[in-house]
Structure 1
């Protein structure tokens, strides 16, 4: 019997309180809203282990079409824990990193939506300028500007 091969990573999921605010942030970053809708019922709970759930989701896609963020707003059951303000060395989800063509312009646009720089923009050798920022609801992301053609 042959071993199953990984085909791709479909998406990373982030649970949020305000889909509208977080969608606007990721649109400003450069992602596109691919779709938005409700996921409800016992069948969904059999996947997540949450029982009869009701979740509004929005799927965001990168400009190249290869990477996605699934934003979820739980209606039922209610959210029971909040890890959004955890420091970068906390166990679990850390951040998603995005490559951008101009880090300074990207930061200027995201600051207008309330983004905050975690510490500073740094240079990694002659490869990247990069930083971590907190967006709406404290969501942690990284952005990196390649210093050489990729």
Structure 2
């Protein structure tokens, strides 16, 4: 077997504290924070000598993680936060929620905005996309029945 599991999805942000607060409100748990720096880290990323603040967020079931990163050095060179759903590259992260309306209400207090509308897919799901902190595209799915 080549792959054992997917460990995490990484998202680069400008305001790490705001992103942590948002994903906590969604229901993720802060697993830990650290500053990663030095030539060894740059050998992995290809960025050379880097300094990055990271926060690892874990889903309640413990199976998935979101790594939030704030680059201090080198500076961020591209911004894809306002890209539409059909843009190439990173698109979105989808989370399963137990109550769509409650989740949207809570996240709206953290600045979340609905992209289109909440739709029902047959008798299986309620689905929507929101823009979270810094315009990050996030999908929400509530399983029905």
> Where on the TM-score scale, by shorter chain, does this alignment land: which range?
over 0.9
Equivalent pairs, count: 145
Mapped partners of 2:29, 2:137: distance in 1: 19
The one of 43, 47, 50 equivalent to 1:50 is: 47
TM (normalized to structure 2)?
Answer: 0.99
* Equivalent in the alignment of 1:28: 25
Q: 2:14 aligns with which of 13, 17, 20?
A: 17
Q: How many angstroms does 1:121 deviate by?
A: 0.1
What whole-Å deviation, never above 9, does each CA across 1:78-120 have from its counterpart, x for those lacking one? Answer: 0000000000100000101000000000000000111000010
Where do residues 1-150 of structure 1 align in structure 2 (5 Å cutoff)?
4-148=1-145
- CA distance in structure 2 between the partners assigned to 1:145 and 1:33 by the alignment: 23
Larger Rg: 1
Local SS of the residue matching 1:37: strand
CA RMSD of superposed structures (Å): 0.6
What SS is found at the alignment partner of 2:20? helix
List, as ranges, runs of 4+ consecutive aligned residues in structure 1 with deviation greater than 6 Å: none
Rounded Cα–Cα distance in structure 2 between residues aligned with 1:5 and 1:133: 34
